[in-house]
């Protein structure tokens, strides 16, 4: 897809404050420090639209970006470790869950999983939660450029095995690198479905 325009529209902390629109939304979420902002910027061919930080937990709101005046990309706060108070993190969990479960405009949730490390319990729990709630989602394995092809295959198989302990069949998985831009076309293809 050719991105002609990408505009920041809103940054909110409640479902009711999200844009009043009929446009489709494609949301991105993942464990803190998984490379979510980098991936969004790579997809949109922008350097600093989604804010990148070394410190986990930088995204603390639901951020809407209007793309080509046709649809929204939505950047959700990460789950897992972040240097913030527990009360605040529980607040994120509430408004993110409200968005994921109740937002009719959200057509697909891209769940980012770090492909360079073993399967994480928090990722598996979140994926299982989505299955229980029947949320449409795609798993995006990030940072594929940071390892050899053999290591990537090994890590992907470990993630697949962990998921199949709970699932009868695997959800859709896409491998990407924000740095080398590998696999970005597959994310766009999934949105265009």
Rounded CA-CA distance 37/22 in Å is 25
DSSP H or E stretch at residue 25 = strand 25-30
* pLDDT at residue 52, rounded to an integer: 54
* pLDDT at residue 54, rounded to an integer: 45
**pTM score of the predicted model:** 0.91
* pLDDT at residue 53, rounded to an integer: 47
Rounded CA-CA distance 50/67 in Å is 13
Is 35 within 8 Å of 99 (Cβ atoms)? no
Taking the chain (193 residues) in runs of 10, the rounded mean pLDDT of each run is 93 93 97 90 88 54 95 89 49 82 97 96 95 97 97 97 96 97 97 93
The pair of structure tokens assigned to 149 is: 């092809």
User: What are the structural domains, with CATH classification, of the chain?
Assistant: 6-192 (3.40.50.300)
* pLDDT at residue 181, rounded to an integer: 96
């Amino acid at each position: 897809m050719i991105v002609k325009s990408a505009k920041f529209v809103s940054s909110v902390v409640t479902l009711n404050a999200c844009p009043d629109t009929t446009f489709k939304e494609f949301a991105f979420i993942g464990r803190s420090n998984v490379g979510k902002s980098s991936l969004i910027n790579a997809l949109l061919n922008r350097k600093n639209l989604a804010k990148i930080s070394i410190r986990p937990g930088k995204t603390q709101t639901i951020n809407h970006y209007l793309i080509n005046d046709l649809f929204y990309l939505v950047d959700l706060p990460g789950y897992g470790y972040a240097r913030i108070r527990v009360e605040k993190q529980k607040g994120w969990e509430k408004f993110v869950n409200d968005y994921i479960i109740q937002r009719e405009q959200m057509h697909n949730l891209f769940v980012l999983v770090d492909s360079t490390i073993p399967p994480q319990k928090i990722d598996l729990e979140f994926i299982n939660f989505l299955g229980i709630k029947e949320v449409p989602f795609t798993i995006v394995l990030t940072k594929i450029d940071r390892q050899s092809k053999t290591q990537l295959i090994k890590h992907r198989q470990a993630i697949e095995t962990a998921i199949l302990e709970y699932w009868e069949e695997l959800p859709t998985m896409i491998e990407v690198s924000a740095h080398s831009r590998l696999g970005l076309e597959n994310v766009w293809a999934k949105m265009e479905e």
